[in-house]
């Protein structure tokens, strides 16, 4: 195992244990609505501190990025560094409502290229990981994308960021007569992981083009590629970080989804 992947797994599991304890203690009926965001922010910050402390213990000279000190990974200075990008809880609304689908993530960039990606679902104790060129794994076992060739019995995950949720109806209307099964977990990072392991056959997502959000999804992109899947945008190119939309899955499913989305 790559030594940095080992540290990433150790760190995210430790933070996940903390998040689960907060989830179990969380009483959504007793917390005032105007205090919920502050509470989630505190939980995110504490999980960040837990992860950062472990990273800095082994790699004190590496740069650590999170929601509060976000930097663009395409920045010239970033390309000369080893960057650890820590994602906040995705989806925090699921956490608040105690809908058990959310995850933490860590990505490691070396000289501008993602080398390691980790996604941890602490509720179900599922850890998805990938190291560039070494394949993708779930709890240590190798995973591959599904083999569906068409949408007849395929499951497609639809996800949109909060700011783009109105687009969900448009997406569903395009697929209504082509695909029988849809899933909306509310967590894009988990949707990407589920594509990688073959639980869903494709993922269609529209996300808000904020640096911290695209950074957070990087681990999912790597895990899908290392599981044999592909990611493109709605124009069929790999400019999904710029366009703010993605299609993920195996080659045949992606082609089918793209042909439907591009129908005017």
155-160 and 181-183 beta bridge pairing = parallel
Distances (CA, A) of 161 to 117, 230, 241: 21, 21, 14
Q: Which of 82, 83, 91, 117 lies closest to 19, judged by CA?
A: 91
Known binding-site residue numbers: 89-90
Q: Are 184 and 236 in contact (CB under 8 A)?
A: no
Rounded-to-integer distance, Cα 22 and Cα 44, Å = 11
Known binding-site residue numbers for Mg(2+): 89-90
Q: Which of 154, 159, 177, 118 lies closest to 245, judged by CA?
A: 159
Rounded-to-integer distance, Cα 159 and Cα 202, Å = 11
């Amino acid at each position: 195992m790559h030594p940095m992947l080992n540290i990433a797994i150790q760190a995210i599991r430790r933070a996940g244990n903390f998040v689960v304890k907060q989830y179990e203690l969380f009483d959504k009926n007793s917390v005032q609505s105007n205090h919920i965001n502050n509470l989630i922010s505190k939980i995110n910050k504490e999980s960040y501190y837990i992860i950062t402390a472990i990273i800095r213990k082994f790699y004190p000279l590496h740069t650590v990025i999170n929601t509060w000190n976000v930097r663009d990974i395409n920045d010239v200075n970033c390309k000369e560094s080893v960057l650890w990008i820590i994602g906040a809880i995705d989806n925090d609304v699921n956490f608040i409502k105690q809908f058990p689908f959310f995850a933490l993530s860590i990505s490691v960039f070396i000289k501008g290229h993602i080398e390691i990606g980790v996604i941890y679902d602490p509720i179900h104790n599922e850890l998805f990981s990938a190291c560039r060129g070494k394949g993708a794994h779930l709890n240590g076992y190798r995973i591959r994308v599904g083999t569906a060739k068409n949408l007849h019995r395929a499951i497609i995950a639809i996800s949109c960021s909060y700011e783009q949720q109105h687009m969900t109806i448009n997406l569903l209307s395009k697929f209504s007569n082509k695909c029988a099964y849809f899933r909306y977990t509310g967590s894009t990072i988990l949707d990407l992981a589920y594509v990688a392991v073959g639980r869903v056959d494709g993922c269609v997502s529209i996300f808000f083009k904020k640096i911290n959000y695209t950074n957070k999804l990087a681990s999912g992109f790597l895990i899908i590629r290392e599981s044999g899947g592909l990611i493109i945008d709605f124009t069929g190119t790999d400019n999904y970080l710029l366009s703010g939309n993605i299609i993920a899955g195996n080659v045949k499913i992606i082609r089918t989804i793209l042909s439907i989305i591009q129908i005017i």
